[in-house]
Structures are given as C-alpha cells and as structure tokens.
Amino acid sequence: MIKKKVFLKLVVFLFTGLISAQNSEKDSFYLKKIVEFTDTNSDSLIYYSKKLKKSKNLCNFYSAFNMEAKALYQKSKLKLAKEKTLYVLENSNNRNELCFKKNKITALNRLFWIYKNQNKFQDAFEVLVKREKIVKSLAKKDYYYTTNLLSTEYNLAIIKSILGLYEEARQILKEIVPKHISIYSDLNERDYYLKLNLSSILNTIGESYLKSSKHETSSDLDSASVYFKRAFEVVKKFNPPHKDSETLYQLREVEVLISKKRFKDALNLIQKYTANSALFKTTQTINSLKAICFYQLKNNDSTLYYSKQFLKNYTKKPKIKKRAISIHDILANQYYNNKEIDSAYKYSEITIAELKILNKNKNEANNSCYLYDYQNAQELNKLILKKQKSKTKNLSIITFLVILLVILIVYLLFKRNIKISQTLIDVKTELQSKLYVQKKEYNINQKLENTLLKGINELKKTTDFLDPDFSINVLAKNLNTNTSYLSYIINKEFDQSFKRYITELRIEYIIKKLTTNRKYRNYTIKSLAAEIGYTNASAFARAFKKYKGNTPSEFIKGLNLD
C-alpha cells in the first residue's frame, strides 16, 4: 500500500514537472514572438500577448498586459491601453521583486506617453516622478538601470519643451546624448532600441530649437537642421532599415523652411515626398504643411482645399491633434479675409475651444508657460462675433427701412458700408497679430515698429516709469497703440517682458542715485523702494538682488567701503 502511494506521488510529480516544462516552453515561444512583432505588427503583438496571458508565471502574465497596452497605444486606442496599464500597476503595486519592478517601470513609461498624448501634462509629470523613484530603487546599477534613468530624464525634457522651457529641455537632452552614445558604443551595432532612442533625443533637440526660434535668420533654425540631420544619420543605420526615414527627415526640414518664411522652397520639397504619403502615413502632415504654405503665399483656393482635405481625414489622433488647431485657425483667418463672417466665426470658435483645453492642461503643470496665444485668438473671436451680431442687426434694420423709404435705405446703406470698411480694417489689424503657428508672432509695419521703439527708448529719458501706477496700458495709451504690439516689440528688441524691462529701468535708476548721491545711502530700504514706485520693500529687495546679485543693504555697504 505504501509503495503504491509513493508511486502515485512520483507520477504526479513527473506529470506536474512535464506540464511546467511545457508551460515554460510556450512562454518562451510567445515571448520570442512578442519581441519579433513589438514594433512591426500591432495585431500580431496583441495576439501573442493574449496567448502569454495564460501563463502561470505572474511576471510573464503582467508582461503580456504591458505588451498588449503597447500595441493598443500604437493603434491610438489610448483608453484601452490605459486600462491595461493601470491593471498592471494596481495588481503589482505591493510586489518588490525585480521582475515586478520592471513591469511597473514599463507600465509607468507607457502611462507617461498616454497622458502626454492626451495633453494631461500634470498627470504625465507625476507618473514620471513615480517611475524615476522605482528605477533608482533598483539594487543593480546595470545597463537596464542606466537606460531607464536616461529615459526618465528624456521624458522630463519633453514635458519642459511642451511647456515652452526650451533652453532647460535642451540642457537636459544635451547632457543625455554623450551618456547615451557611451552606452551605445559598448553594445552590439545591431542594438535597435538604443539607436531608436538616440535618434528620438536628437530630433527632440532639433524640435526645441525649431519651436524657440524667433526670426527667419535665427541661428536656432540652423541648429534645428543640424540635429535633424544627426538624427537621420542614426536612423540610416537601423537594421532592418526604416523605409520612411528619409521622408520624415525631409518633412522636418520643411518645417524649418516654413519658419524661415521660405514657403515656395518648402512646397517644392513637400512635393518630392507626396507620392509615398499613403504608404508612409504622412498624408495628414503634408496636407497641413501645404495649407500653411499656401496661406502664407495668399493662395486662397489651395489654402481652403488642403485645409479641408486635412479636416476630412482628421481622426483626432494625439500626434495630429495639435496640427488641427493650426488648420482651424488658418480657416478662421482665410474666411475672414474672404469676408465670409459666418464661416470665420465657426472655425474661430473651434480654435478657441481647442486652445482653451490645451492651455488648461498646461497651466496645471506650469502656469507661466504657454505655447499658444489663447488671449489673441479669443480677442479675434469676440471681434468676429460682434461683427456677426452687427451684421444681423443691420440686415434687420435694412429690411425694415426698405418698407418705409427707399431714400433712407440708400443713406443707411452708405453709412453702414463705411462702418463695415473701418471695422474690417481694425479687425484685420488685430488679425495680423495672430499667426497659424504655435508661438506668438506679429507682422507690424516697419514704420510703426520704429515709432514704437523710439517711444520705448524715450521712456528712459523720463521718470514716468517711477510712478507706482505706471503700466503697459499707460505706455500703450501714451504711444497711441495696443498692449499686444508694445509687448511684442519689447520682447523682440530687448528679449524680455515689459514687467522685467521696467523693473530693470527702475533698479538702474536707484543704483545711479546711490552711486552719485550719498544722501540716498542714508535712506531706509522702504524709502528707496518708494523712490522708484515700489509699495512693498520686500518686493523691491528681491527685485534688486535678482538683478544685481546682492541686496540693497549689501550694495550700499560696498559703496561706503570705497
């Protein structure tokens, strides 16, 4: 009887071992297939991920969810991708074994990109912090640790770039590149993912230069081209090669040409890469770039055609959604130029709604940084709405007056046309202060610009700026212009905001007084502050230290020692 029990136990043990071996073999096969299809076929990736979900190995089980989330993300099914990702995080949260940590790191990375593409920048930043914490908790500081730490730094740079902090973003990215290349040199030349990451970093640096450039002659645009070229040199070494690499590189160069206002050259380059747009899925990008170029070249029909083509195929994918804001803005401007007020109002309303959502998400992450000029778009919208209401009202009046008296109709129409013409001139002036791109730009008449600049420089010769109530509104009124133009001129010529410009004038004024007139050195800090328009001594002291590097008291002490 005992021998029989032992025999049965042995049979069960062998059978269990056989099943375990078979499961392990299946897992290995599915994992191999997942690696094979991870960036080439999303449907196959989903298929083998679902197969791997049947694994008895919990690490493989959660890896299957992570890979399924990746495939769904690649298919732009962000909601489903998020559900799979959160499942991994919620169910492996309290597990600290290495394989569970790696699954959490992978899931958090996917969640970062999901939030980023949903414009939920605050959520993306919080996820990034969590991921960095887990990476730094890894005991072994190996290749996996280093690459994931660099990846979190790269993601941080992306957020900073989105928020308009281009210099900070570039500083992070430029520090990553040599570290990345160092890792790259120690690995096999065929290491695909490292090349992919390096090319992404270089392209992101190029994009930060492109977005931060202010003028068509800016060296930032040349730097953008340099980094786009470096990224292209890396992707040419992919094995197997990517067939769309050259097309994507050239379309980035098109954006550089547009920023340089070389719109005809940009169109010629676009045309060379239009034939394969369907194959490489660049149709929407090309439609939007053509719409931008034709709008700037004042080609009404082509502007409307390519804008409509873009909207016709617009699927609200995250990567293309930001382009839609530019297209809606272009249509609002184009229809307004065509005096088609109803259509202009329609697209202006859409632009306002999209900018409002985008800026709300950016404000949650950084209240001081904007990539889009929501305020100017809103002002245009109000003017168009006002015009639309005026048009409706006037048409009603005209209809009523037709019944009363023909002569009176002629008179009223004459007055109305004068009013409309003047309104169109005024609105068009406002309209020129807002372009299709994601940064603020103004097309101010050179004579007007010189007049405003002269007025700004004359300000230094007065003491008007010492008045506590002095503001950009006061200066704009004195120069008979608007605050938007004035702010733009100061930013363009002095590379700073109006507030900072006035602060520096005030600080320089009090420094001169302290240096040349000893009696000022006996003043209290509060009195010195009041002398230059500050009602708060602490605010004055902070501004002084930020500008000069030391406090007013320290500065006075230094003067007395001389």
For residue 217, the model assigns a pLDDT of 54
For residue 422, the model assigns a pLDDT of 44
For residue 437, the model assigns a pLDDT of 31
10-47 residue pLDDT tens: 444 444 444 445 567 888 888 888 888 877 788 998 99
Q: For residue 427, is pLDDT > 50? A: no
Q: Which residue has the higher pLDDT, 479 or 356?
A: 479
* DSSP track, 412-461: HHHHHHHHHHHHHHHHHHHHTT--SSSS------HHHHHHHHHHHHHHTT
Q: For residue 250, is pLDDT > 70? A: yes
For residue 387, the model assigns a pLDDT of 59
- The three-state secondary structure class of 155 is helix
Amino acid at 383: L
Lowest mean pLDDT segment, chosen from 26-40, 236-250, 377-391: 377-391
Q: For residue 285, is pLDDT > 50? A: yes
Q: Please count the other Cβ atoms lying within 10 Å of the Cβ belonging to residue 104.
A: 22
For residue 366, the model assigns a pLDDT of 47
Residue 171 φ/ψ, nearest 5 degrees: -60, -45
For residue 432, the model assigns a pLDDT of 39
What average pLDDT does the segment 485-503 reach?
86
CA distance 491 to 454: 15
**In which element (H, E) is residue 295 found?**
helix 283-296
Q: For residue 413, is pLDDT > 70? A: no
Q: Which residue has the higher pLDDT, 494 or 445?
A: 494
- The three-state secondary structure class of 555 is helix
What average pLDDT does the segment 425-442 reach?
38
Lowest mean pLDDT segment, chosen from 69-73, 266-270, 445-449: 445-449
Residues 294/256, Cβ–Cβ less than 8 Å: no
The mean of the pLDDT values for the chain is 78
Residue 303: alpha-carbon gap to chain centroid = 24
For residue 428, the model assigns a pLDDT of 41
Q: How many residues does the chain have?
A: 562
Long-range contacts of 457-464 (CB under 8 A, 24+ apart): 459/505, 460/505, 463/509
How is residue 253 written in tokens?
Answer: 């160069």
Residue 6: alpha-carbon gap to chain centroid = 69
- The three-state secondary structure class of 350 is helix
Task: For residue 544, name the pLDDT band (cuts at 50, 70, 90).
Answer: very high
Q: For residue 289, is pLDDT > 90? A: yes
217-227 residue pLDDT tens: 578 888 889 99
Rounded percentage of the chain residues whose pLDDT exceeds 70: 76
Residue 416 φ/ψ, nearest 5 degrees: -65, -40
Residue 412 φ/ψ, nearest 5 degrees: -65, -40
Closest among 74, 174, 165, 71 to 117, alpha carbons compared: 74
What are the counts of helices (DSSP H) followed by strands (DSSP E) for the chain? 26, 0
CA distance 97 to 470: 63
For residue 302, the model assigns a pLDDT of 93
Closest among 158, 159, 106 to 131, alpha carbons compared: 106
For residue 109, the model assigns a pLDDT of 93
Global pTM value: 0.56
**In which element (H, E) is residue 455 found?**
helix 446-459
Q: For residue 294, is pLDDT > 90? A: yes
How is residue 121 written in tokens?
Answer: 């920048």
Q: Please count the other Cβ atoms lying within 10 Å of the Cβ belonging to residue 547.
A: 14
What average pLDDT does the segment 269-273 reach?
90
What average pLDDT does the segment 388-397 reach?
60
CA distance 212 to 231: 19
What average pLDDT does the segment 111-123 reach?
86
Residue 56: alpha-carbon gap to chain centroid = 43
How is residue 4 written in tokens?
Answer: 């029989």
Q: For residue 396, is pLDDT > 60? A: yes
Residues 273/238, Cβ–Cβ less than 8 Å: no
162-181 residue pLDDT tens: 877 888 888 888 888 888 77
CA distance 519 to 81: 70
Q: Which positions ≥6 away from 380 have C-beta within 8 Å? A: 332, 348, 427, 430, 431, 434
Give the side-chain half-sphere CA count within 13 A for 472. 16
Greatest distance between any 2 Cα atoms in the chain: 123
What average pLDDT does the segment 276-295 reach?
89
